[in-house]
Structure 1
Amino acid sequence: MSALLHAQPLSVPTNKLRRRDGPAPGVVVYKCTVPETFALTFDDGPGEYADELLNTLDRLGAKATFFVNGNNAGSLDDPELADRVLRTYNAGHQIASHTYSHADLTTIGPDQIRSEMTQLDDQLKRIIGVRPTYMRPPYGSFDDQMLGIMSELGYRVISWDIDTNDWQHPDDPSASLSVIQSEVKNASENGNNIALAHETIQTTVSTFTEAAVADIRSKGYRLTTISECLGDPSGAYRD
Structure 2
Amino acid sequence: MKLSLLSLFSATTAVVYAQAVPDAGAPPGSTTDGIPRPRVGSVPYGVTITACSQPGTVALTFDDGPGVYTLQLLDLLDETGVKATFFILGRDSASSTDVLQRMFAAGHQLASHTYTHLSLNNGGTRYNEVMYNEMAFRNIFGFFPTYLRPPYLECEQDCLNFLGERGYHVISTNVDTKDYEHDDPSGISVSRQLFSDGVAGGTGNGYIVLAHDIHQNTVTNLARFMIDESRRLGFSRDISSTSHPVSINVRISRLASVRHAACSPIRFRLPRTDVAPITTSSHNSGVFEVHSGSFGSFEQLGIDEQSTIGGHIL
TM-score norm. by structure 2 comes to 0.65
* Amino acid across the alignment from 1:148: N
Deviation for aligned residue 1:205: 0.4
| Alignment-derived partner of residue 123 in structure 2 | 108
Counterpart CA distance in 2 for 1:196 and 1:226 is 15
Conservation of the 8 A alpha-carbon contact between 2:203 and 2:235: no
Counterpart CA distance in 2 for 1:209 and 1:199 is 9
Counterpart CA distance in 2 for 1:15 and 1:170 is 42
1:183 and 2:198 matched? yes
| Alignment-derived partner of residue 64 in structure 2 | 44
Question: 2:116 is paired with a residue of what secondary structure?
Answer: coil
1:58 and 2:71 matched? no
Task: Give 1:234's match in structure 2, choosing from 266, 277, 283.
Answer: 266
1:159 and 2:172 matched? yes
| Alignment-derived partner of residue 16 in structure 2 | none
| Alignment-derived partner of residue 140 in structure 2 | 127
Higher RCO, 1 or 2 (CA under 8 Å, sep at least 6)? 1
Question: Could you say which structure has the larger radius of gyration?
Answer: 2
Consecutive unaligned residues in structure 2, runs of 5 or more: 1-27, 249-262, 271-314
1:143 and 2:163 matched? no
Conservation of the 8 A alpha-carbon contact between 2:119 and 2:126: no
Deviation for aligned residue 1:35: 2.6
The share of aligned pairs that are identical, in percent, is 35
Residues 1:203 and 1:161: Cα distance change in structure 2 (over 3 Å): same
| Alignment-derived partner of residue 37 in structure 2 | 16
TM-score norm. by structure 1 comes to 0.84
Residues 1:127 and 1:196: Cα distance change in structure 2 (over 3 Å): same
* Amino acid across the alignment from 1:47: G
Deviation for aligned residue 1:86: 1.0
Conservation of the 8 A alpha-carbon contact between 2:31 and 2:135: no
Counterpart CA distance in 2 for 1:216 and 1:165 is 18
* Amino acid across the alignment from 2:199: V
Question: 1:187 is paired with a residue of what secondary structure?
Answer: coil
Conservation of the 8 A alpha-carbon contact between 1:184 and 1:219: no
Question: 2:93 is paired with a residue of what secondary structure?
Answer: coil
Conservation of the 8 A alpha-carbon contact between 1:22 and 1:232: no
Deviation for aligned residue 1:151: 0.7
Residues 1:98 and 1:34: Cα distance change in structure 2 (over 3 Å): same
Deviation for aligned residue 1:238: 4.4
Counterpart CA distance in 2 for 1:119 and 1:23 is 24
| Alignment-derived partner of residue 94 in structure 2 | 77
Counterpart CA distance in 1 for 2:108 and 2:78 is 10
Deviation for aligned residue 1:186: 3.9
| Alignment-derived partner of residue 298 in structure 2 | none
* Amino acid across the alignment from 2:235: Y
Deviation for aligned residue 1:154: 0.1
Question: 1:77 is paired with a residue of what secondary structure?
Answer: helix
Residues 177-201 of structure 1: CA deviation (Å, up to 9, x unaligned): 1111122344145x20000000000
Aligned positions of 1:214-225 closer than 5 A: 214-222=228-236, 224=244
Deviation for aligned residue 1:115: 1.5
Question: 1:52 is paired with a residue of what secondary structure?
Answer: helix
Conservation of the 8 A alpha-carbon contact between 1:22 and 1:227: no
